[in-house]
Homo-oligomer: A and B are copies of this chain.
Amino acid sequence: MSGKKVTLRDIAEHLGVNTSTVSRALNPKTSKMLTAEQVRRVQQAADELGYVQNTMAYALRKGRSMTIGVIIPDLMNPVFPPILKGIINYLNREGYTSIIAYCENDIELALTEIKRMRGRQVDGFILAGAFRDDASVDYCVENKIPAITVGRSIDKDLVDKIVIDNESGMQQIIEHLLELGHKEIALIAATQNISDGYERYQAYRHLLQEQGIEVKEDLIVFAQAFKHAAGQEATRELLARKVPFTAVIAANDLVALGCIEELENHGLNCPADVSVIGFNNMPYLDQFRVPLTTIEIPRLKMGEKAARLILERLNKPNMPLQHIVLEPKLLERRSTAPCKG
């Protein structure tokens, strides 16, 4: 009941049977080999003695650890906790455990963490912070470790992926802005080595063209990170170019918030003078000084789908490459307003 851990052998000795009998009785897949009575006895003894299976021994024997490694770029970025929650929830329900590492957007670190986790015999990886060209994905593929990406994806078709439809997100943004009468629409794009950043940038270009609106290079600027400060800096650069604009599409909400602050520093009000749109719908955004119009993405669901997908991949190593696309949705709040011009 207390202290020392109870093993299969303890139960076996207690009952005067062989450990293999106990093992079989406790495993639903093999318990039908035994008499129902025997199974009952064993199960009762296990309960009484407080037996908990030693996952380490199980893993060593079976070569499966029932563990999934999850790599995220940054716990502090509010996008990731819900994804993580979705993953952990689903995995737990299926008897799996997840181990988390974050890589601070550092590809070297990601690889180190992956190797470390590999030592722990993880059965597969969920990569939530991949770059378009990512050495850690290559490592997984080379070493035949099942892996999938969720959110940010890689360019090559190497692994299963869960993505959101950035094209659709950008389209909703642009339609919204157009309806409000905006014509001079600036873009604070994310770094182009990340799929979301790249895809939204591309979508911005060709969607504007489709609408017969000229894409001015001077209205495109790049944020160095998905952070508030990066948004300020990018906005400063944009303003310095002295090309007029009435709306800004930001790389994400944090960048949008930084943008708004910097606009104000230059005497520009949002949304009166400039409309600003974010991306992701981070928590409590409705409580912010300027409630941000943004794109909502189904984060919890992304996590759940990712968990489900990696397990599916584990069970069917040869199934064709999966590519799951989730729909984002525009959320109108108060950072966008009709164009005054």
Contact = CB atoms under 8 A, between A and B. Distances in A.
A90 B203 CA distance: 41
B97 A120 contact: yes
Q: Which of A1, A55, A144 neighbours the largest number of chain B CB atoms within 10 Å of its CB?
A: A55
Given A81-B75, A85-B75, A115 B65 contact: no
A159 to B, nearest CB: 16
Given A115-B52, A288-B289, A143 B75 contact: no
A48 interface: no
Contact of A76 (B50, B82, B228): B82
A35 interface: no
B65 A76 contact: no
A244 interface: no
A210 interface: no
A99 interface: yes
Given A1-B142, A2-B144, A283 B84 contact: no
A28 interface: no
A57 interface: yes
A207 interface: no
Q: This chain: how many copies in the complex?
A: 2
A255 to B, nearest CB: 13
A2 B142 CA distance: 6
A11 to B, nearest CB: 15
A55 B120 contact: yes
A314 interface: no
B55 A57 contact: no
A97 B97 contact: no
Q: Which of A52, A101, A287 neighbours the largest number of chain B CB atoms within 10 Å of its CB?
A: A287
Given A99-B97, A287-B288, A52 B85 contact: no
Interface string A268-300: 000000000000000110011101000000000
A71 to B, nearest CB: 12
A226 interface: no
A102 interface: yes
Interface of A: 1-3, 50, 52-57, 59-60, 65, 75-76, 78, 81-82, 84-85, 88, 92, 97-102, 115-121, 142-144, 228, 257, 261, 283-284, 287-289, 291
25 contacts: A3-B144, A50-B143, A52-B118, A52-B119, A54-B60, A54-B119, A54-B121, A55-B120, A55-B121, A56-B59, A75-B84, A76-B82, A76-B283, A78-B78, A88-B102, A92-B101, A97-B116, A228-B284, A228-B287, A257-B284, A257-B287, A287-B289, A288-B288, A288-B289, A289-B289
